[in-house]
């Protein structure tokens, strides 16, 4: 098997700002696997919050290059690389390669009866209340807006968005930017404003504080949950979990995590990093039937990858084979 990987950069439309910082470019890891006349593709986003970079992900891949080139299986890959961006890119490329070899679409191989279009949330970057209100006005027809929060004037931000998008469902994402006291203080107002979900309000290592807290808005684990190993911990604290392939280390673990979380009665959100349609395509398999879908990465870019997903408003069409799966 021929194995290649490289870093790629895609400009963001404007900027993307969360509680931890701002960026104007998306840096992704691209993986290609060739076997005979078939080629599989995968993409991931190394994330600094998890001590990842393009260089560190490349080093992980080079360390296991002989095993990959010898024809590693998806099952063997789970023990070969740790959960994270490097494993995600290879795992998704293997799914794609298997689909190309067999002629069986990845969604069918995953046990799905069909692959339906999905309505995605659209993310509003953290900014002043006035700027976020303007973002909301420009996107008021979207069915679901996701607001980045995490500082002073958060309620002013949400009120500005609600004023300019009165009919849209809202979720907020603090990216660990609140204290427990902040959460207790603002949660009633978030409920009053019709917010449906609060993502990762406090730091992953400090979320035991949530135990026994009856929040008026359902809470969703993001940074606290990577794989099934953290599921028991999160199930005791959160009503919902955000599954991202870059955290699980690929589609294989993401599907297993979704099944395990659903069996515990947890609501499911499927999210993404800012990336191209190649990252969104495998996540669409996990997002089938999810309570919340947040796969808007390509909508935040100034340009997408060739053969990208067809997106109409907030509706994502299933990927074409030229892209993935």
Share of the chain above pLDDT 90, in %: 96
What mean pLDDT do residues 308-323 have?
97
Q: What's the CA gap between 241 and 70, in Å, rounded? A: 36
Contacts of 214 (CB under 8 A, 6+ apart): none
- Map out the domains of the chain with their CATH numbers: 2-103 (3.30.390.10), 118-316 (3.20.20.120)
* Contact yes or no for 97/73 (Cβ under 8 A): no
pTM over 0.85? The answer is yes
Structure tokens at 60: 């992980």
What mean pLDDT do residues 106-135 have?
97
Among residues 3, 39, 40, the alpha carbon closest in space to that of 282 is found at 40
Distance between the two ends of the chain, CA-based, in angstroms? 18
Tell me, what's the pLDDT at 196?
98
Q: Which residues are catalytic?
A: 148, 244
Share of the chain above pLDDT 70, in %: 100
DSSP of 267-293, one letter per residue? EEEE---S--HHHHHHHHHHTTT-SEE
What mean pLDDT do residues 140-149 have?
96
268-285 pLDDT, tens digit each: 999 999 999 999 999 999
Q: Are strands 195-199 and 219-221 parallel, antiparallel or unpaired?
A: parallel
Strand partners, 157: none
Residue 15 has pLDDT above 90, yes or no: no
Q: What's the CA gap between 252 and 309, in Å, rounded? A: 21
Tell me, what's the pLDDT at 320?
96
């Amino acid at each position: 098997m021929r194995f290649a990987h490289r870093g790629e950069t895609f400009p963001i439309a404007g900027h993307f700002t969360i509680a931890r910082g701002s960026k104007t470019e998306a840096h992704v890891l691209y993986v290609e696997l060739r076997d005979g006349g078939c080629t599989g593709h995968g993409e991931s986003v190394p994330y600094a919050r998890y001590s990842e970079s393009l260089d560190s992900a490349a080093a992980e891949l080079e360390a296991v290059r002989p095993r990959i080139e010898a024809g590693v299986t998806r099952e063997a890959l789970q023990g070969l690389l740790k959960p994270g961006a490097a494993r995600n890119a290879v795992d998704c490329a293997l799914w794609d390669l298997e689909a190309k070899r067999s002629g069986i679409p990845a969604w069918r191989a995953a046990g799905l009866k069909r692959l339906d279009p999905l309505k995605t949330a659209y993310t509003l970057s953290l900014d002043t209340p006035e700027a976020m209100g303007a973002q909301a006005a420009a996107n008021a027809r979207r069915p679901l807006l996701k607001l980045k929060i995490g500082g002073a004037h958060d309620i002013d931000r949400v009120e500005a968005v609600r004023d300019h998008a009165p009919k849209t469902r809202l979720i907020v994402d603090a990216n660990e930017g609140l204290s427990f006291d902040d959460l207790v203080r603002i949660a009633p107002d978030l409920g009053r404003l019709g917010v449906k979900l609060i993502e990762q309000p406090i730091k992953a290592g400090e979320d035991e504080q949530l135990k026994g807290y009856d929040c008026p808005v359902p809470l969703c684990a993001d940074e606290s949950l990577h794989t099934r190993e953290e599921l028991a911990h999160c199930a005791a604290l959160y009503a919902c979990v955000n599954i991202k392939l870059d955290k699980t280390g690929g589609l294989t673990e993401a599907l297993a995590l979704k099944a395990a979380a659903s069996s515990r009665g947890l609501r499911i959100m499927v999210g993404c990093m800012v990336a191209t349609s190649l990252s969104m395509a495998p996540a669409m398999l996990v997002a089938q039937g999810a309570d919340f879908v947040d796969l808007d990465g390509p909508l935040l870019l100034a340009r997408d990858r060739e053969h990208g997903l067809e997106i109409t408003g907030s509706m994502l069409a299933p990927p074409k084979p030229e892209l993935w799966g």
